[in-house]
């Protein structure tokens, strides 16, 4: 007889044997016992967590000769045929290979015939998300109103690719990844049944490498037994799984976090000399820094399966630096890992990141001594744009406290270029005005329309003036607020009047030129 791999040999045969999916198995058992079995189910979740296995157990429960029962007997002809995959009433279809509309039409026609021997006809379609749109549309009608003896079970790892019209016609169950403690206990128990001894640290490595997939873990166990025989140790697991040694990662982390650049670069070179790729080293080191960050923050989430010796080393490193340093190093290494995937020289990208992280750690570490100032000091922040200071308004002055003739007002400032140009225009205004007036062609100056003019008696505002006239100021060099409080002086009124005469003269000359043309 040919060899049967662990993933098939140790496949669960009852709902009780399915690992870490109680929310699914309990619901299905209660539905069977109460006679509330649906006509369509959708099992979603990661690979290797028991979706197809649960579908087969459901088929056993429905077609068992002692059922329907939530505990199949495993001894009747129907249970044995389903376990071996030879039952004519339980059809497993690969959705990736039979994904067209023709296959679905054939399924739809055959589903109308009664079961050959069993109580129900069960269609298990694996990887159902691979069906075409036309195939899904062909399933809609029979999926909504199937024959009484037909049960559909769909399994998929990508439910987002399944149309909503299909999902709404099914009872959906989401399978979860297998937790490491549950998987570790299961592997040790099943290995003991096979006469295999496996080290606790090796089991932890297998669980981490599987990513929560029991099928992947059993496949790794097959490889380890072939590699190391009946005695699986930590060293054999590290060698087969190409796990970067924790001592090497600890040396690299300690060198970077302590600011020792030569030692950190030597650790990178040693890892590459041992045959690890840049990607393997980056992934392992990122996970190691993640564990250090959790320990530094006081959290132990996901660290239960780590060996005791490795945990002690990481606690020692995490306790010597702050979580800010670890977080910044983690960001630098993560960015370098992404850059190394597309760089022409990935080793240079990694070594540059190691140098940058080492220098940064050294600078931050010096800034965070002593411990009392840890909360105040940290990595230098990016320069920020300082807000423009608010302008201080000068204190109000009384009109009677004006400076003397030979004294400069305190709020005077140096005139700008525009203001100097205005002053120059004011000084040349009389000559231009006189020359324009002497020509004899210009009519007398009139006020601009829309401007109300009213003479003010002396003493109404401290000085006589014309209400509605243009504000008459000097060269515009004084502070605007001070002028508003003090009122225009006589010189400012005269300068403004000269400017208005100049502008009127220019307008009059332009109009005469146009009439001559």
CATH code of the domain containing 158: 3.40.50.300
Least reliable range by pLDDT among 110-119, 168-177, 202-211, 448-457: 448-457
Residue where the block lists tokens 């109680």? 22
pLDDT digits over 403-451, tens only?
444 444 444 455 555 455 445 544 444 444 444 444 444 444 444 444 4
Contact between 41 and 58 under an 8 Å Cβ cutoff? The reply is: yes
Whichever domain contains 363, its CATH number is: 1.20.272.10
3-state secondary structure of 132: coil
Separation between Cα atoms, residue 329 and residue 85, nearest integer Å: 53
Whether residues 213 and 263 fall in one domain: no
Whether residues 18 and 129 fall in one domain: yes
- Average pLDDT over every residue of 75-99: 89
Q: How confident is the model at residue 285 (pLDDT cuts 50, 70, 90)?
A: very high
Q: Is residue 403 part of a domain?
A: no
- Residue 16's Cβ-side half-sphere holds a number of Cα atoms within 13 Å equal to 4
Whether residues 168 and 186 fall in one domain: no
- Average pLDDT over every residue of 487-494: 71
Q: Is residue 411 part of a domain?
A: no
Q: Is residue 261 part of a domain?
A: yes
Total number of domains in the chain:
4
465-467/454-456 β-pairing:
antiparallel
Whichever domain contains 215, its CATH number is: 1.10.8.60
Query: The dihedral of CA 80, 86, 91, 96: what is its sign?
Result: positive
The residue among 350, 373, 396 that closes a domain is 373
Domain range enclosing 497: 416-438+469-517
The residue among 188, 212, 241 that closes a domain is 241
Least reliable range by pLDDT among 107-111, 331-335, 394-398, 470-474: 470-474
Whether residues 170 and 185 fall in one domain: no
Whether residues 224 and 94 fall in one domain: no
Q: Is residue 227 part of a domain?
A: yes
Residues 6+ apart with CB under 8 A from 20: 49, 176, 177, 178, 179, 182
Whether residues 330 and 267 fall in one domain: yes
Whether residues 361 and 281 fall in one domain: yes
pLDDT value at residue 42: 96
Whether residues 189 and 256 fall in one domain: no
Q: Is residue 134 part of a domain?
A: yes
pLDDT value at residue 442: 47
Distances 87 to 70, 76, 105, 256 between C-alpha atoms, Å: 19, 12, 22, 61
> Phi and psi for 397 in degrees, rounded to 5?
-120, 145
Q: Is residue 453 part of a domain?
A: no
Q: How confident is the model at residue 374 (pLDDT cuts 50, 70, 90)?
A: very low
Least reliable range by pLDDT among 194-198, 352-356, 409-413: 409-413
Separation between Cα atoms, residue 48 and residue 9, nearest integer Å: 14
Separation between Cα atoms, residue 226 and residue 241, nearest integer Å: 13
Whether residues 290 and 360 fall in one domain: yes
Helix residue ranges, H only, 229-300 = 234-241, 246-258, 261-273, 278-296
* pLDDT over 90 (residue 152): yes
Closest to 499 measured CA to CA, from 477, 470, 478: 470
The residue among 195, 221, 241 that closes a domain is 241
* pLDDT over 60 (residue 200): yes
Burial class (CB in 10 A: 0-12, 13-18, 19+), 299: exposed
Query: What one-character-per-residue DSSP string does 397-427 give?
Result: --GGG---TTS--TT-----HHHHHHHHHHH
pLDDT value at residue 514: 58
Q: Which DSSP letter does residue 466 get?
A: E
3-state secondary structure of 263: helix
Q: How confident is the model at residue 380 (pLDDT cuts 50, 70, 90)?
A: very low
Q: Is residue 22 part of a domain?
A: yes
Q: Is residue 212 part of a domain?
A: yes
User: Mean pLDDT score of the chain, rounded to an integer?
Assistant: 77
Q: What percent of the chain has pLDDT over 90?
A: 33
pLDDT value at residue 513: 58
Whether residues 120 and 218 fall in one domain: no
Closest to 44 measured CA to CA, from 153, 178, 156, 131: 156
What's the pTM value of the predicted model, to 2 decimals? Answer: 0.64
Whether residues 427 and 493 fall in one domain: yes
Whether residues 426 and 506 fall in one domain: yes
* pLDDT over 80 (residue 325): yes
Contact between 357 and 329 under an 8 Å Cβ cutoff? The reply is: yes
Q: How confident is the model at residue 260 (pLDDT cuts 50, 70, 90)?
A: confident
pLDDT value at residue 491: 73
pLDDT digits over 261-281, tens only?
889 999 999 999 988 899 989
Closest to 281 measured CA to CA, from 289, 294, 272, 273: 272
């Amino acid at each position: 007889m040919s060899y049967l791999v662990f993933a098939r040999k140790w496949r669960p045969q009852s709902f009780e044997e399915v690992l870490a999916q109680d929310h699914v198995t309990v619901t299905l058992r209660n539905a069977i016992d109460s006679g509330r079995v649906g006509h369509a189910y959708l099992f979603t979740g990661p690979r290797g967590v028991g979706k197809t296995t649960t579908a087969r157990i459901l088929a056993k429960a429905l077609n068992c000769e002692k059922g329907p029962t939530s505990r199949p007997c495993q001894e009747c002809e129907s249970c044995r045929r389903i376990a071996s995959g030879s039952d004519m009433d339980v059809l497993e279809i690969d959705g990736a290979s039979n994904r067209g509309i023709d296959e679905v039409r054939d399924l739809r026609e055959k589903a109308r015939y009664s079961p050959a021997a069993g109580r129900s006809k069960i269609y298990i379609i694996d990887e159902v998300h691979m069906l075409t749109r036309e195939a899904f549309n062909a399933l809609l009608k029979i999926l909504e109103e199937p024959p009484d003896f037909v049960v559909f079970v769909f399994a998929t790892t990508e439910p987002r690719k399944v149309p909503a019209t299909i999902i709404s016609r099914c009872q959906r169950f989401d399978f979860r990844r297998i937790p490491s403690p549950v998987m570790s206990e299961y592997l040790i128990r099943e290995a003991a049944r096979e006469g295999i001894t496996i080290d606790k640290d090796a089991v932890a490595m297998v669980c981490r490498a599987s990513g929560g997939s029991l099928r992947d873990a059993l496949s790794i166990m097959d490889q380890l037994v072939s590699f190391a025989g009946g005695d699986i140790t930590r060293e054999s697991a590290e060698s087969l799984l190409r796990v970067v040694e924790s001592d090497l990662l600890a040396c690299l982390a300690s060198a970077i976090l302590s600011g020792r650049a030569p030692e950190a670069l030597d650790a990178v070179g040693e890892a590459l000399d041992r045959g690890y790729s840049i990607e393997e080293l980056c992934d392992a080191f990122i996970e190691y820094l993640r564990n250090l960050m959790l320990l530094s923050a006081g959290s132990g989430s996901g660290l239960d399966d780590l060996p005791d010796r490795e945990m002690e080393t990481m606690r020692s490193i995490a306790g010597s630096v702050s979580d800010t340093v670890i977080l910044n190093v983690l960001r630098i290494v993560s960015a370098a890992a992404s850059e190394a995937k597309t760089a022409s020289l990935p080793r240079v990208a990694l070594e540059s990141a190691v140098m940058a992280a080492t220098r940064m750690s050294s600078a931050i570490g010096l800034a965070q001594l002593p411990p009392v100032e840890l909360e105040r000091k940290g990595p230098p922040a990016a320069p920020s744009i300082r807000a423009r200071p608010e302008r201080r308004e000068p204190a109000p002055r009384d009109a009677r406290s004006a400076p003397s003739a030979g004294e400069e007002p305190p709020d005077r400032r140096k005139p700008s270029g525009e203001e100097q140009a205005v002053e120059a225009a004011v000084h040349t205004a009389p000559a231009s005005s006189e020359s324009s007036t002497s020509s004899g062609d210009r009519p007398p100056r009139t006020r601009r329309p829309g401007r109300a003019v009213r003479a003010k008696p002396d003493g109404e505002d401290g000085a006589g003036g014309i209400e509605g006239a243009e504000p008459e100021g000097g060269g515009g060099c004084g502070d605007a607020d001070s002028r508003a409080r003090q009122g225009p002086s006589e010189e400012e009124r005269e300068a403004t009047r000269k400017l208005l005469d100049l502008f009127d003269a220019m307008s009059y000359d332009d109009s005469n030129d146009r009439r001559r043309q």
